């Protein structure tokens, strides 16, 4: 019943409004009653127009932000797919290089090593060149960056025992690490054998990337024999570095390189500078390493390890 009463009242008010419009349409605008009526009508129309414009503008802005986020996700996915495609193509070429039958162990080792050297040379130049921006070797830029170093545990021994298996594991390792680096907005500076050198603009991104990498390797190693497992160490430091078109230099790089070997297989170690930034931002606990000395580092930072289990 209330609905019908409301409708009746609405139509009654609308009828009065139309009657007033007809009255004012035949009168002079200077008539006080009609002047106020027309001014009120104009203000109402302007207000409704602004409200509609605000609603439409808000919707357009939301759609643009969503489009930009989707575009960034698509670009990241495309970059990852391109990197995976390069890995697959390189693996195919390497497979063609390795003879299938009737070769000696020395010939097999020489073929695989030659393929690996070629792959490393390509990996060391492509990502840095694509992302270097306008910085040059003659005019390096200085930035505060989080430096991450990784290294496969026992990789040299794996190469001595079975080079083909070790190289396949290296490709699997590269895919896992690169996927995490892209996800957490890192810049792959270079690969040195089985080691990755990556920089981040954020210490939190670097630590999140390292945790993601170690979690991925835990899943990869599940239900695998010891010989097929991939265990890596990760070291992270936060410091000022010099960035050129193709490389990153500085004392912070040296410190990160000294921190990485301190990590346990499957573990992450980081400097006190990184710890002070991320200690309240991640859910994991930390443990300080006592009595640690870093070779050729005069003033060594405090070192912490992340307790992942």
For 293, which DSSP code? -
* pLDDT for residue 120: 53
* pLDDT for residue 248: 92
| Beta strands at 268-271 and 248-249: parallel, antiparallel or unpaired | unpaired
Tokens of 282: 């991640």
* pLDDT for residue 129: 41
Residue 304 forms beta bridges with which residues?
270, 288
**Number of C-beta neighbours around residue 306 at 10 A:** 22
Is CATH 3.30.70.1230 correct for 98-307?
yes
Query: How many angstroms separate the CA atoms of 3 and 60, rounded?
Result: 35
Query: How many angstroms separate the CA atoms of 110 and 163, rounded?
Result: 10
Q: What is the pTM (predicted TM-score) of this model?
A: 0.57
Tokens of 43: 């203000």
Please list the ranges in the chain whose pLDDT falls under 70.
1-4, 10, 13-14, 16-40, 72-73, 75-81, 83-139
pLDDT tens by residue, 52-86: 888 888 788 777 777 777 776 676 666 666 766 66
Over the range 123-157, which residues count as b (16 or more CB within 10 Å of their CB) and which as e?
A: bbeebbeeebeebeeeebeeeebbbbbbbbbebee
31 by DSSP, 3-state: which?
coil
User: Please, how many CA atoms are within 13 Å of residue 155, restricted to the half-sphere of its CB?
Assistant: 18
Q: Where are the domains of the chain?
A: 2-62, 98-307
pLDDT tens by residue, 209-242: 999 999 999 999 998 888 889 999 999 999 999 9
């Amino acid at each position: 019943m209330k609905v019908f009463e409301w409708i009746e009242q609405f139509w009654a008010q609308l009828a009065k409004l139309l009657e007033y419009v007809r009255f004012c349409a035949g009168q002079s605008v200077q008539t006080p009653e009609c002047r106020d009526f027309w001014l009120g009508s104009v203000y109402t129309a302007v207000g409704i127009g602004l409200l509609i414009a605000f609603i439409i503008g808000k919707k357009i802005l939301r759609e643009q932000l969503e489009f930009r986020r989707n575009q960034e996700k698509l670009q990241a996915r495309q970059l990852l797919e391109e990197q995976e495609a390069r890995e697959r193509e390189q693996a195919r070429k390497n497979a063609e290089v390795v003879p299938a039958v009737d070769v000696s162990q020395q010939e097999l080792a020489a073929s695989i090593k030659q393929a690996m050297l070629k792959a490393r040379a390509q990996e060391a130049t492509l990502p840095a060149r694509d992302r270097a921006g306008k910085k040059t070797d003659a005019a390096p830029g200085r930035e505060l960056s989080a430096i991450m170093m990784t290294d496969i545990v026992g990789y040299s021994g794996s190469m001595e025992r079975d080079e083909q298996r070790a190289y396949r594991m290296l490709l699997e390792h590269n895919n896992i690490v690169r996927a995490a680096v892209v996800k957490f907005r890192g810049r792959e500076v270079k690969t040195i054998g089985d080691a990755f050198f990556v920089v981040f603009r954020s210490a939190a991104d670097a630590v999140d990337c390292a945790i993601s990498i170690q979690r991925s390797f835990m899943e990869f190693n599940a239900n695998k024999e010891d010989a097929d497992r991939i265990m890596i160490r990760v070291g992270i430091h936060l410091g000022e570095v010099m960035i050129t078109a193709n490389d990153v230099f500085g004392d912070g790089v040296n410190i990160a390189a000294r921190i990485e070997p301190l990590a346990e297989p499957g573990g992450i170690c980081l400097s006190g500078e990184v710890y002070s930034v991320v200690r309240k931002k991640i859910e994991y606990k930390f443990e300080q390493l006592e009595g640690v000395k870093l070779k050729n580092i005069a003033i060594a930072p405090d070192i912490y390890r992340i307790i992942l289990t």
